Structure 1
C-alpha cells in the first residue's frame, strides 16, 4: 500500500572535519512512497570518500507531515519496515501510539540505542524516532511534523548545523529550538490580541477608558477571549512538553558515553559532535522555555477580562431591560388614555342604548324643531353620571398609585437592610 510522504534527506561528514561529502534530498510532493523505498533509503550503505574511507558522521531521515490529530500516521507495512531497519522487535508496538507526547529510549536487537520522541496532539510539536549506530556514528530515522514547524525549517537547520554538530542528538535539539521560537511567536500573538481586548474594555494597566467607538460588541469580545483561552492552553501544554523533551535530551547527552564500546571512540565522537556546545544550546533553550512559563500570567489577565466582559454584558442587558420597561410604561399610559376616553363616552352610550331616547327628529319641517323636547333630560342624566364614573375611576387610579409607591418603598427598605 502506498503512503504519501513529503521528502527524504541525508547528510554526511567526510574524512576531513567539516567537509560535506554527500548531501541529497528526495521529494515526493506529488507522488507516493512505498515500504520498499523507505526500507531501501534507511538501510542502504553510507557513501565513502574518494579514498574509500567511510564518513565520520551521517544523518539519514524520512520526513512526513502529520496534520490529522490523533490519527495513525503510517501504513502498517511501512511501520513494519521501519521497525526492521531500526532494529526494534516486531512483537512490540513501539511506534503505533499516534501522539502520546512521550520520550524514551529502547535498545535495538543489536544493542544500539533507538530514541523515540512522540509529539503531542497539536500542530506545533514534532515526532522524532531515530537509531544511533555507535560504530559508524550514523543516525537513521524519521520525522513527523505538524503545520507550525515545517520540514523545510528542520532540514534547513540540519544542512546549516550538521557539519559543525555531527551529533545524533542534534535533531531533537533543533526541533526544541524551532518549537520554542514558534511558542514565543504564539504567546506574543496572544498577548497582542489580549491587549486589544483590554483596550476596548478599558480595564488594564495601560487602558484608562473604554473605546468609545467599538466596532465589536461585548459578546464578540467574549468569544474572542474564549478562542484565546483555547490557544493559550495548547501553547502552555506544548511549553511543558518541550521542557520534558529538553530535560530528556540533556539526560541522554550525559549518558551518551555509555552507548559506545570504548572511551576512546566516545571521545572521538564527542569532539566531532561538539557535545559540550550542544549541551549548552539545550540548556539555553530549556531556560528559554522556563521563561515562557512566566507568561502564565496571561491566563489571569484573560480571566479578569472575561469577568469584566460578563459584567459589561450584564450592565448592557440591564440597560436594555430598563428601556423595555420604560417602553412598557409608555404603552401602559397610552392604554390608560384609551380607557379614560372609553369611560368618558360609556354613560352616554349606555343611556342611549338603554332608553333609545329620540333626541332628534330629522323629519321636522323646520331646523328649530329637530331637537326633541326631552333633549335636556338626556344631558341632565348623562353629565352627572359621567362625572360620577370619572371620579370613581380617578379615585381608583390614585389609590392604586399610592399602593404601588408604598410597595416600592418597602422593597427598597428591605434591600438596604439585606445589604447592611
Structure 2
C-alpha cells in the first residue's frame, strides 16, 4: 500500500484492522506521529505453544535531494504482520515503489535460506529492504557532503552558501535520527526472537530455523550500526565544513581590518604632519591679526624722487613675540607626544 493512510490519520478498512488485530492504541496520534516503534502480541494455546503472533512496527527513511535547494523525500513506513503455524501475512503501509522492488529482489535471493515456520520469517526480507533504503539515504547525504568539501576552495561564501550548509546538516541529522530508531526497532525484534526461542521447547529442526533467523537479524543490526556510524561521520564532516567556513570568513575579515588599520595609520601620520605645519603657522598668524598695523611703508616716486620702501623701527616686536610663541607651541606638542608614548 503506497498511500500512507497511517500518517495521514485515515482509517484502515475495517476488514484489514480486524484481520491484523490492529490495537486501538497503535492508531493514536502518539504512534502516528512517532519516528518509529515496535509492538507485538502473542497468543498461546493451553499447552503454552504459540498459536498466533502479531507485530506492528514503523520506520522512517529520508532521502536528500541530489542538489541542495530541491525537495527532499520522507518515507514513513508502517508494517503490520499476522502469523500462525499455517500462514504469515504482512501489510506494508506507505512504502514507495522502490521498496516494493527491493522487497521482491530480496525475497528472490533470500527466501530459499529463510525458514518460513518462524513468526519473524517475513521480517528478515522486510528489514533487508529497509537496510538498502537506509544505505541509499546515507549515501545521498554523503554525496552532498562531498560536493561541499570539494567546493571549499572558493574564495568566499555568501548567505546562500551558509543556508545550504545548514540545510545539508539538517538532512544529516534526520538521517542519523532515523537510523538510530531503526537500530532500536530491529534490536527490539531480536530480543523477542530470542525470548520465543528460550521459552518454547523446539525440536532440532525448529531450533535450527530459529537460529538462522537470529543470525540474519544480527547481521542486519550490524549493517544498520555501520550505516549509523557513517551517518554520524556525515554530521561531523558537515559541522567541520561549517566551522571551516566561519573561520575562513573570520580570517578574511581580520585581514581586511588589518589593511584598513594600516591605511588609517598612514592617513593619521599625514594628518599629524598637516596639524604640525598648521600649529607652526598658527602663532604668527595670530600675531599678524593682533599687529594689524603696517610695519612697511611704500612711497611712490614723485618727480625726481624715486619710489622707496621703509620699515618701521618697531618691526622687531613681531619677531620678539612670534618666535617664542611658535617654539612654545611646538615644544608643548612634542612634550605631550612623548608623554603619550610613555
Q: TM-score, normalised by structure 1?
A: 0.56
Deviation at 1:187, TM superposition (A): 6.0
Give the Cα–Cα distance (whole angstroms) in 2 for the partners of residues 341 and 81 of structure 1: 101
SS at match of 1:118: strand
Tell me the residue number matched to 1:83.
17
Deviation per residue, 1:383-404 (Å, 9 max, x gap) = 5544434433432343333333
Asked if residue 114 in structure 1 is aligned to residue 114 in structure 2, the reply is no
Deviation at 1:288, TM superposition (A): 1.9
Deviation per residue, 1:16-50 (Å, 9 max, x gap) = xxxxxxxxxxxxxxxxxxxxxxxxxxxxxxxxxxx
Tell me the residue number matched to 1:345.
281
Distance 1:194 1:277, change over 3 A: farther
Distance 1:114 1:364, change over 3 A: farther
- In the alignment, is the contact (CA less than 8 A) between 1:347 and 1:382 conserved in 2? no
Give the Cα–Cα distance (whole angstroms) in 1 for the partners of residues 42 and 36 of structure 2: 20
Deviation at 1:104, TM superposition (A): 1.5
Question: Equivalent residues in 2 for 1:87-236 (5 A)?
Answer: 87-90=21-24, 92-94=25-27, 96=29, 97=31, 98-106=33-41, 112-120=52-60, 126-134=76-84, 137-144=87-94, 151-162=96-107, 165=111, 167-170=121-124, 172-186=126-140, 188-189=142-143, 192-193=146-147, 195-196=149-150, 200=152, 214-217=154-157, 226=166, 229-236=169-176
- In the alignment, is the contact (CA less than 8 A) between 1:103 and 1:245 conserved in 2? yes
Tell me the residue number matched to 2:260.
324
Give the Cα–Cα distance (whole angstroms) in 2 for the partners of residues 293 and 160 of structure 1: 24
Deviation at 1:185, TM superposition (A): 0.9
- In the alignment, is the contact (CA less than 8 A) between 1:132 and 1:139 conserved in 2? yes
Give the Cα–Cα distance (whole angstroms) in 1 for the partners of residues 192 and 126 of structure 2: 11
Distance 1:86 1:357, change over 3 A: same
Give the Cα–Cα distance (whole angstroms) in 1 for the partners of residues 220 and 308 of structure 2: 111
SS at match of 1:233: helix
SS at match of 1:289: helix
Deviation at 1:286, TM superposition (A): 1.8
Give the Cα–Cα distance (whole angstroms) in 2 for the partners of residues 79 and 365 of structure 1: 129
Tell me the residue number matched to 1:14.
none
Give the Cα–Cα distance (whole angstroms) in 2 for the partners of residues 81 and 403 of structure 1: 96
- In the alignment, is the contact (CA less than 8 A) between 1:218 and 1:312 conserved in 2? no
SS at match of 1:342: helix
Identify which of 210, 226, 235 aligns with 1:291.
226
Tell me the residue number matched to 1:333.
269
Deviation at 1:125, TM superposition (A): 5.8
Give the Cα–Cα distance (whole angstroms) in 2 for the partners of residues 134 and 184 of structure 1: 36
Asked if residue 63 in structure 1 is aligned to residue 2 in structure 2, the reply is yes
Deviation per residue, 1:202-235 (Å, 9 max, x gap) = xxxxxxxxx5xx4334998877765555444333
Identify which of 297, 313, 324 aligns with 1:388.
324
Unaligned runs of 5+ in 1: 1-61, 67-71, 146-150, 201-210, 407-420
Aligned length: 308
SS at match of 1:105: strand
Deviation per residue, 1:294-343 (Å, 9 max, x gap) = 44466666666666666555544443333333233223223223323333
Unaligned runs of 5+ in 2: 44-50, 63-72
Deviation at 1:156, TM superposition (A): 0.8
Give the Cα–Cα distance (whole angstroms) in 2 for the partners of residues 160 and 347 of structure 1: 100
Give the Cα–Cα distance (whole angstroms) in 1 for the partners of residues 158 and 195 of structure 2: 55
Distance 1:226 1:341, change over 3 A: same
C-alpha RMSD of the superposition: 4.7
Which protein, 1 or 2, shows the higher relative CO under an 8 Å CA cutoff with sep ≥ 6? 2
Tell me the residue number matched to 1:411.
none
Deviation at 1:117, TM superposition (A): 1.9
- In the alignment, is the contact (CA less than 8 A) between 2:145 and 2:237 conserved in 1? no
Distance 1:311 1:253, change over 3 A: same
